[in-house]
Amino acid sequence: MEIELKNNHQGGGLKRLKCSVQNYDWGKKGTEGSEVARLYELNSGSDIELEKKKPFAEFWMGTHGSGPSFVVEGGVENGDSIGSGSMSLKEWICKNPNVLGEKVLDKWGCDLPFLFKVLSVAKALSIQAHPDKELAKVLNKLHPNLYKDDNHKPEMALAVTEFEALCSFISLEELKSVLRDVPEIVELVGSAEVNKLLQINEHGHEEKVKSGLRSAFTQLMSASKEMTAEVISNLKGRLYTESKIRQLTGKEQLVLQLEKQYPADIGVVSAFFLNYVKLNPGEALYIGANEPHAYLYGECIECMATSDNVVRAGLTPKNLDIQALCSMLTYKQGFPEILQGFPLSPYITRYLPPFDEFEVDRCILPRGAATVFPAIPGPSIFLLTAGEGKMCTESSKDVVMEGDVLFAPANTEISVSTTSELHLYRAGVNSRFFQIL
């Protein structure tokens, strides 16, 4: 991209951001201790007491048009609320492209390649997948009202509390056990499809396994509403009866929980096909394009490519596109990789997924301690979730506290100190993109 990178004084230093909130139905209510509600109230400077009965699901930090962030004029030291004349972060970046760094600007243009979020999940999100770039362009062209951008959306969830999710298909061995032990699936899929899978030898037949899984899962998700309702009713009755004589498995207990949240929804049964993942605080799960997943419960930091494209097929009252979802999935099997992060310094842990667009750093800084975020060739967004401290660049020294969200231009070294324990998260372009660690 031929944009001259000039030294622009407006692009220097940290910029305080006022950020957006999403009140999706699955979010925790403000009255139930939603972290999103708490951070949004602190960040916006607004009194949301009268709104706290609403669900506060996602806190967005970035440039996406569905939930833009705004630059507070005057920088970090100015805590004034956003007015009608405020400039969006995307507009500000377009006026100051040098803040992205040359390599990011060349690759992604005048925009952040990542979207940073906090999620407060009270009940399951939809069974969903995010399209790759090629499919995203097709969906955006065909249905721009549903798929509002043409980008892919790989993502990563970093647990703040214990966090639960469904993700990727279980192994063939586990699937065979499910097909033998859950007769309701046979009713929905048909004995012919089930027998095909039961007879497959896993070794050397990967494509045959994928084909059989694709066929069975598509048959399951395409079942009629009447048959689905009847089968789920039978499943619920059987599990309640059996719970009196044996301990239900974790997956069976989850299925009953999902049925309470989404009665007669095919997503309830589809949970048997997916891995049940439980993250401890500080563990992360990443999800590539065309992989099925559903977040279930808990609070997390999330980062993704800048997109809001979601193809849904269950556990939601929203628009479903079952055929699109079933045809786009990779049908890879096995338990997903859980990232523990690796130490960047005594107080900073880095989570590095296999995507160019983003990485996340988690900093827990004890009282009286200090640390440094080295200068990097791309932009960053910082979120303070607890504590108070100082963030210093070459030209500024600013007091920051929980709820603050700060944009840092490329090539900015930042030192952080605190007089109380400080919790800080940073999102930035994946360091592998710059061929550094």
Query: Which residues are identified as catalytic?
Result: 312
Largest CA distance in the chain: 73
Distances (CA, A) of 164 to 167, 282, 298, 338, 360: 10, 13, 7, 12, 19
Asked if residue 377 lies in contact with residue 410, where contact means CB atoms within 8 angstroms, the answer is yes
Helices (H), 147-205: 172-181, 183-189, 191-198
Report whether 130 belongs to an annotated binding site. yes
DSSP count for the chain of H helices, then E strands: 12, 26
Cα(422)–Cα(432) distance, integer angstroms: 27
Asked if residue 255 lies in contact with residue 243, where contact means CB atoms within 8 angstroms, the answer is no
Main-chain phi, psi angles of 97, to 5 degrees: -60, -20
**263-266 long-range Cβ contacts below 8 angstroms, 24+ apart:** 263/232, 264/225, 264/228, 264/229, 264/232, 264/233, 265/228, 265/232, 265/314, 265/315, 265/316, 266/220, 266/221, 266/223, 266/228, 266/313, 266/314
- Residue 53: other Cβ atoms inside 10 A: 10
Cα(128)–Cα(325) distance, integer angstroms: 7
H or E element that contains 398: strand 397-401
3-class secondary-structure state, position 388: strand
Main-chain phi, psi angles of 103, to 5 degrees: -70, -40
Strand partners, 134: none
Annotated binding-site positions for Zn(2+): 128, 130, 155, 293
